Amino acid sequence: MYDVYGIIGNPVSHSLSPIMHNVAFKELGIKAVYGAFLVKEENLKKAVEGIRALNIKGLSITIPHKESIMKFLDEIDRVALEIGAVNTIVNENGYLKGYNTDWIGVLKAFTKNEVEIKDKKVVIIGAGGASKAVVYAIKAGGAKEIEVYNRTFEKAKTLEKNFGIMAKPWNELKNASGDIIIQTTSVGLKSWKSPVEEEVLSRFKIAMDIVYIPLKTKFLSLAEKYAKVIDGLQMLLYQGVEQFRLWTGIEPPVKLMEEAIYKEVKKMEKEIKKEMK
């Protein structure tokens, strides 16, 4: 008998999580399988009931359910509560506890690339769901100053209120400067667009994009002329590594997981080249 894990979201068809986790289960000889489940917003409560009924051992949660799923769980980890989003569920005999490993993915991505966050000025582009975990991670890493730019200023102000960062109007982005810049919007996903001009990127030493299709986005291509760049797969990998630990209590084969998702993204890039305009 195999234990079942998976990811729920809408959409989920291009999720790399099944590839990453299944290769780890296979390598370690764990009798488990990880699948992708499309769940529409109106069916979320039923899906959570299904987790208990089918004894699904653990789940990854992706867009658009990271916030809305919280009310259906039995317990929320303190950090996930502070962030205001859950991306991981652990099922202990029908008792569902929510965690957030996205912020760990952000921190590990910097650590593994030998980038120090402490005492740095960090600029974050976007104030959507993904930026919450990024802001939390950067604060945890000891950044001296954090600025968030967003097209809808009110969303940035909400982050300012909740996390004590500085919200900045979008029209002031052209004047932004600092040590590290992080792109958290969906701009550049399967397209050749960047929310930030090259002149702005020239003022930073480190640039990170959470978009990973294409692997080297226009944002990173412009930034790498001036800065060390970190692609979006790094965050995905290390949040997944932490999920695996939470579910199994076992150290996963990180290198193998990394190789599997980079190989898959290379294949996906070839398929969507026509969309990259």
- Asked if 21 contacts 241 with a C-beta cutoff of 8 angstroms, the reply is no
**Closest by CA position to 61, among listed 254, 71, 217, 268:** 71
Computed on alpha carbons and rounded to an integer, the radius of gyration of the chain in Å comes to 18
Helix extents (H) in the chain: 17-28, 44-54, 78-83, 102-112, 129-140, 153-163, 198-201, 218-223, 232-248, 254-271
| Upstream peptide bond of 214 is cis (omega within 30 degrees of 0) | yes
What are the b/e assignments for 55-70, b being 16+ CB within 10 Å?
Answer: ebbbbbbbebbbeebb
**Beta pairing, strands 95-99 & 145-150:** unpaired
DSSP string for residues in 235-270: HHHHHHHHHHHHHHSS---HHHHHHHHHHHHHHHHH
| Structure-token pair, residue 245 | 């630990």
**3-class secondary structure, 23:** helix
Whole-angstrom distance, CA of residue 114 vs CA of residue 233: 16
Q: Which residues are catalytic?
A: 66
